[in-house]
């Protein structure tokens, strides 16, 4: 059991002919992901990945021809609005956007469009999703996670990798790991993914990896306290970050006390969440 992606996922890669898109498509395929199509305008009719994956000019024609139900986007930021919009218009179930630095106004428009669609957007600035042993969509290394019953949801790509590796070293497996993205405006937040893990019969525990800035963690703490029955372990990065200074991600900025690591930690502890001091402490808390 898993959430969002599994062995049945039929993946379409937008921007498959670019350097990053092609490299990570090869890695995704090596991890068992069924890539059925790529999309690069002007290159329709060509083939990639040992001449086994066809390229189309538009998402709509790719979906009609291949039955793709998930898209991953490796498109430069200035073209990402059009790429996401095209995927939504093609009624894809899931859209994962790896691209960082999409203008805030573009994302506000996308958020508005998503409200009247059935598509789920993960990202932007997301490392993607992995269901170990079944499929991965994005750039999370496939060799750092074991299949298991622990759900992982994170705002930080690098910390995601560190926690997955620590779990593997302690022989603990993952149902699905979702990187929601570190930008200030994203498609799906912590609550969206937590609710999926809550409903997933084979996810028994959940790890949440947060960071300074924004209100995602505060909202998640309230949701955990009132709605979740499964135990949650959290780690919050950025305890020593100075106020008013962005640290890494566009969403990682503290304004006054709002968004600080200590405020988030306090709220999680009040919600009954165990909070790790360091990422490597998480396996022991489980």
Half-sphere exposure of 118 (CA within 13 A, CB side): 6
Q: What CA–CA distance (Å, rounded) separates 240 from 139? A: 28
Q: What CA–CA distance (Å, rounded) separates 89 from 114? A: 10
Q: Where are the alpha helices (DSSP H) in the chain?
A: 19-30, 59-66, 77-89, 104-114, 157-169, 190-199, 216-227, 261-270, 282-285
Residue 272 is classified by DSSP as T
249 is catalytic: yes
Exactly one of 24, 34, 165, 249 is catalytic; name it.
Answer: 249
Q: What CA–CA distance (Å, rounded) separates 177 from 209? A: 11
CA quadruple 193, 94, 159, 174: dihedral sign: positive
Give the residue numbers marked as catalytic: 249
């Amino acid at each position: 059991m898993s959430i969002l992606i599994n062995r049945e996922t039929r993946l379409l890669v937008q921007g498959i002919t670019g350097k990053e898109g092609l490299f990570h498509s090869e890695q995704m395929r090596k991890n068992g992901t069924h890539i059925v199509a790529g999309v690069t305008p002007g290159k329709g009719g060509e083939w990639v990945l040992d001449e086994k994956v066809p390229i189309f000019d538009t998402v709509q024609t790719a979906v009609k021809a291949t039955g793709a139900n998930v898209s991953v986007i490796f498109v430069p930021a200035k073209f990402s609005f059009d790429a996401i919009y095209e995927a939504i218009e093609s009624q894809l179930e899931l859209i994962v956007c790896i691209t960082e630095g999409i203008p805030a106004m573009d994302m506000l428009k996308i958020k508005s469009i998503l409200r009247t669609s059935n598509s789920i957007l993960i990202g932007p600035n997301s490392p993607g999703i992995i269901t170990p042993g079944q499929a991965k969509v994005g750039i999370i290394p496939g060799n750092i996670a074991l299949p298991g019953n622990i759900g992982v949801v994170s705002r930080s790509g690098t910390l995601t990798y560190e926690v997955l590796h620590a779990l593997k070293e302690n022989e603990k497996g993952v149902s699905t790991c979702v990187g929601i993205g570190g930008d200030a405006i994203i498609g799906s937040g912590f609550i969206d993914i937590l609710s999926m893990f809550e409903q997933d019969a084979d996810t028994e525990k959940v790890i949440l990896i947060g960071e300074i800035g924004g209100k995602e963690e505060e909202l998640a703490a309230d949701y955990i306290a009132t709605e979740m029955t499964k135990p949650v372990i959290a780690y919050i990065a950025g305890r020593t970050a100075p106020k008013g200074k962005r640290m890494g991600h566009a969403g990682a900025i503290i304004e006054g006390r709002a968004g600080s690591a200590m405020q988030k930690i306090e709220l999680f502890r009040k919600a009954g969440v165990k909070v790790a001091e360091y990422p490597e402490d998480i396996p022991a808390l489980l």
